[in-house]
Amino acid sequence: MTVPVYNEEHVLGTSIERLHAYLDAEFPFDWSIVVVDNASTDRTLEVAHDLAGRLDRVRVLHLDEKGRGRALRAAWAASDADVVCYVDVDLSTGLTGLLPLVAPLVSGHSDLAVGSRLSSGSAVARGPKREIISRCYNLLLRGVFAVRFRDAQCGFKAARRDVVQRLLPAVDDEAWFFDTELLLLAEHNGLRVHEVPVDWVDDPDSRVDIRSTALGDLRGVRRMVWRFLRGRGWVDLGGLEREPLRDDFGRQTVTFALIGAVSTVAALGLFLVLRDRLGPIPANVVGFTVASVLNFWANRRFTFRRRDAAGRWWHVSGSLALYVLSLALASVGLALAGGRLGTEVAVLVVTWGIVAIVRFALLRSWVYRR
């Protein structure tokens, strides 16, 4: 159990004694507590050493630089426990959630586990400012990265040590965005993230600077978007990754259809906006090209779940060939439509529909063949 601290002399003793008593009385697995001091300038390190001298299974790790991510990296990289986890020193999260947090990791069912203040079963007491910021940030993550977890920032997380030590070298952030980056990389590489509803009470004496933390998180989001777009989110898990299903036809069909419907609406909208200015064929070229780029990325990421750089140029080449064929057929249809808008729209919808069926079959059997 890792507890990162920075200038927490006023609360550290009470919190560690409470955590130690709970683990000693209620926790069924072997455990230890590591207090990681992030270059505190008060008596935090002295208090931590005093606790380690009085309480069994309490250790102290001192770092010369600040950063929660740096603290977790140092503690987890050096750990020999099967499961590593951390809690905030204020113990805002109810400790009764600890066993549900680690149980799916001990059983091998999941790879990482996070406490969630935004789950329906959670009980949370905090001010409206923090609530709004938290919800907006996590909605941003779900919208941009399509992640399944709902709360990236809760200071209550655990992971299988063998998995997290594979992920740590790929995590760049050393501060508050560390948690989010770790979770994004985990989901991007197909790892299973378990979410636990928690009881959480806001700490009125929190040392977190909301504004600077929020700006840092947004910079981190931008960096991860660019990283994933370049195909650099893949992590070598050394055989710890989950085996894919042999065939996922049903899910692929539905996902492909949904992406296709959104792409069709986007392409048709651009066509209608640009038709009178450019003419039907050039307007279709612009609209179809924009929609095809987004369609390619979404299908590679969500339909066929290819998230690394392996095979990317083959996927691009195959999709490009299908794009050219689709564009040629649509252009021929528009040329035969006689300049009538209704006929042109019908031609595009029918052509795109037929081509989509062919594309899906070829993508499955040729471009993304396993």
- Would you call 202 a catalytic residue per the annotation? no
Check residue 309 and give its pLDDT.
Answer: 57
Residue 300: per-residue pLDDT: 79
Among 37, 90, 151, 179, the one annotated catalytic: 179
> According to the model, what pLDDT value does residue 172 have?
95
As given in the structure block, the two tokens for residue 168 are 């740590």
pLDDT at 369: 67
pLDDT in the model for residue 313: 67
Over residues 135-159, the pLDDT tens digits come to 999 999 988 888 889 999 899 999 9
Residue 148 tokens read as 């399944």
CA distances from 232 to 224, 225, 308, 309 (A): 9, 10, 6, 7
Q: How far apart are CA 44 and CA 38, in angstroms?
A: 9
Could you give the CA distance from residue 315 to residue 319 in angstroms, rounded to a whole number? Answer: 6
Low-confidence stretches of the chain (pLDDT < 70) are 204-209, 244-247, 307-315, 369-370
- Structural domains of the chain, ranges and CATH numbers in brackets: 2-229 (3.90.550.10), 249-367 (no CATH)
Count the residues in the chain. Answer: 370
